Structure 1
């Protein structure tokens, strides 16, 4: 049965065209069904590290193109198209040589969001004009019908979910966690790498960074967030946060 999503607003063109900067611009909205939004205007790619989000990510490309490596698949999303990257799916932005790219990301709660990797043509479902802005509501409403999936190796399996849960709820050593599950460290690491695309310690780091995002959205002080997510200090969190999400914790918190 298809999930009914709440209506979405129109996003003014000015909002989707931030000034050129070397970082992503994130901001929150009171609209039900959207966790946050992000925009970027620049050339090529920021070269962010492979990462995942706890939310489903919709990428609307307004000009130029965005490219991603998802699993062993490289995909390119050109202007007039949108991509859905399901929650917890590892992806890495790729440089594509495009001189200028503008994109708008919507982050939706994982529950109820589409769980298939998709790229769809949305030119008939939106318009960009000075007086009207961007209206993604029709795209989201019809997303599942617009295009078949382009492969679904990323759909989480029950065992994959169990591994994610074990890694995020335990703060002990990886070897001890593997032993508690009746596996050797090497076997456990292979299974985690196959399931989530990265080694256990890297997955834990990304999970901590995603937790930091949630705490910063709740307006927690940056130093407190660094301590709660087990980073050495605020500077340590800041370096890894920017390398992964393209902005500093301070800019993100005040988005």
Structure 2
């Protein structure tokens, strides 16, 4: 299938939420290049065949299953047939899952697609149409059910040392308070009160990505908010702490599989 994006491709974003991002999209052919981000991507295919490379295999999502892409796992996206594919997706920060799980390692769905009925039901409230508002209390309840359904679908793992959640969370909070300056692993270790290498291991286990990528993706979050609000790309790059627009573009492609200019043009209110 040709890799050129279809003229009919579109993305709709739900009204902003303090807890997660919700989108609905359609792609007629090629959607995303290989990329990885530091959130869970949880969704469902509404129509068509949603194909993607994931963990050394080609997966095909059909209506009726649940997509669960683990943080920091590389994947792409394209239509499996000429009919294209229509889907909804939520992006959930691992830190939010950790608030519910209390420091257990993140649940991992190996193949990126699950037919677990509890997981399908738990994600239902969060995967409503983007024009449908979700009550904040309903959202909290749904996130609780989703976290525990992920654990059930992933199965239990035993015999592992529990990560130091409190120390890793102190480091994460330091990142959010310090995006305007250079951040080193030593800075994070001092803020966390932990050994730098144990902190690095625990951060990955608890939040699904490395400290460096976590910092970079928070800068991308800021740039995308600015771009969606109408800021020129060069200005958004500067305001978010990138060296220039090219730096922003390279990092955006790595994280989201498309340049920021294409993402901006596809947005629909």
**What's the TM-score once normalised by structure 2's chain length?**
0.57
Is structure 2 residue 236 aligned with structure 1 residue 252? no
Distance 2:57 2:114 in 1: 12
RMSD of aligned residue pairs (Cα, Å)? 4.8
Is structure 2 residue 161 aligned with structure 1 residue 179? no
**What's the TM-score once normalised by structure 1's chain length?**
0.60
**How far has the Cα of 1:182 moved from its partner?**
2.1
Distance 1:180 1:60 in 2: 42
Match among 165, 180, 188 for residue 173 of structure 2: 165
Match among 236, 245, 253 for residue 247 of structure 2: 236
Distance 2:234 2:73 in 1: 28
Going by fraction, where is helix more abundant, 1 or 2? 2
**How far has the Cα of 1:216 moved from its partner?**
1.9
What CA deviation, in whole Å up to 9, does each residue of 1:209-248 have, x standing for no partner?
1222222222222122111221110111012212321222
Is structure 2 residue 72 aligned with structure 1 residue 66? no
Secondary structure, counterpart of 1:177 in structure 2? helix
Match among 178, 199, 207 for residue 196 of structure 1: 207
1:129 maps to none
Structure 2 residue ranges without an equivalent (≥5): 102-106, 121-126, 157-162
2:75 maps to 93
Matches within 5 A, 1:112-127: 119-120=114-115
1:219 maps to 230
1:26 maps to 11
Distance 1:206 1:194 in 2: 17
Aligned pair count? 214
Match among 35, 47, 59 for residue 49 of structure 1: 35
What CA deviation, in whole Å up to 9, does each residue of 1:58-106 have, x standing for no partner?
232522243475xx898945211343549x9444326899566624234
Alignment check: 8 A CA contact 1:61 1:78 kept:
no
When structure 1 is superposed on structure 2, of 95-104 and 60-69 the one drifting more is 95-104
